[in-house]
Amino acid sequence: MILTIDSLLTLPELKELTESLSQAEFVDGKITAGWHAKLVKHNTQLDKQAPQVQKLQNLVIMALERNLLISIAVRPKKIHSLRFSRYDIGMSYGTHTDNALMGGGEFLRSDVSFTLFLSSPNNYSGGELIIEQSQGEVSYKLEAGSIILYPSSFLHRVEPVTEGTRLVVVGWIESLVRDEYKREILFDLDTVRRSIFAKEGKSIEFDLLCKTHANLLRQWVD
């Protein structure tokens, strides 16, 4: 399941991120790429030793954690490995799949990947996120402050930037439910029970859906 969410960030949060990053030091993005991804990764990233890293990471994580749709669709256990990435003219990231395990010695799974857009699409050309899906390649270029989340197992790439600067935050989520199809079943059940409750209040049907949802969650949570 692929989710796009408009305005994950508030305008003050977006302003704080972009202003802070405009004064920050960026380094070669290959530093954090796997041995094969280094061949196709051409961007820069905020230096992980930069003094503002922790504050900016916390801001993004809090925005993700407060969003109800992310909570019920992704079931985050750990949001991790955030990277503040910049693509200037000529930069791109060729086709790759994300590493299954991240976080160094923590061995955190990458079940769901996300890209949080910080630059307005009007301020740069190119730089589309291309995700390879069963129906073919799909292109994404969202408004500043909006986010896309997708299974980390998908092949994807970032097209070359031909004008301006593309600024994004990328990161990964280890879900309580590692199987994407099970997550979708839980999401559908949760959506239906919320809809029934909004229309009818607490009913027999609502209670049965709650029971089924809770029992599946007990079986499937890692």
Q: Is residue 194 annotated as involved in ligand binding? A: no
Determine which helix (DSSP H) or strand (DSSP E) holds 11, and give its type and residue range: helix 11-22
Q: Is residue 66 annotated as involved in ligand binding? A: no
**What are 156's two structure tokens?**
């994807």
CA of residue 149 relative to chain centroid, distance: 4
Q: Is residue 166 annotated as involved in ligand binding? A: yes
Q: Is residue 42 annotated as involved in ligand binding? A: no
DSSP string computed for 46-113: E-TT-TTHHHHHHHHHHHHHT-HHHHHHH-EEEEEEEEEEEE-TT-EEEEE---SEESGGG-EE--EE
Q: How many CB atoms lie within 10 A of CB 215?
A: 10
Taking a C-beta distance cutoff of 8 angstroms, is the pair 155, 25 a contact? no
The HSE-up count of residue 174 (CA atoms within 13 Å, CB side) is 15
The closest of 151, 154, 131, 153 to 141, measured between CA atoms, is 131
Which residues contribute to the annotated binding site for Fe cation?
96, 98, 156
Which residues contribute to the annotated binding site?
96, 98, 156, 166
Which residues contribute to the annotated binding site for 2-oxoglutarate?
166
